[in-house]
Amino acid sequence: MTHHPRIALFTASLLLLAGCGAEVAGGAATVGKLQAQQLQQAQQQQAQVVDGLKAAQAAGMARAASAGD
């Protein structure tokens, strides 16, 4: 009968570790979702910068063309 406290302690330890594992997995999923959102925002910002550069280049070319006339 001396093994019952050990079994109870072992079972409690397993349950505790399983609970921590679920919490870690949930946290990882949350971090993954946030990183996906950050990536999407960064891609949108990159597209805006590229569009701005293209517009500036087009404006510069237009000024150069009108100056040559």
CA 68 to chain centre: 49
Q: What is the pLDDT of residues 5-61, one digit of tens each?
A: 788 888 887 776 676 666 766 777 888 889 999 999 999 999 999 999 999 999 999
Q: Which pTM does this prediction carry?
A: 0.55
Give the per-residue pLDDT at 29: 81
Q: What is the pLDDT of residues 2-18, one digit of tens each?
A: 457 788 888 887 776 67
Identify residue 58 by its one-letter amino acid code. Answer: A
Q: Give the C-alpha separation, 69 to 38, whole Å.
A: 47
pLDDT level of residue 65 (50, 70, 90 thresholds): confident
> What is the rounded end-to-end Cα distance, in angstroms, of the chain?
103
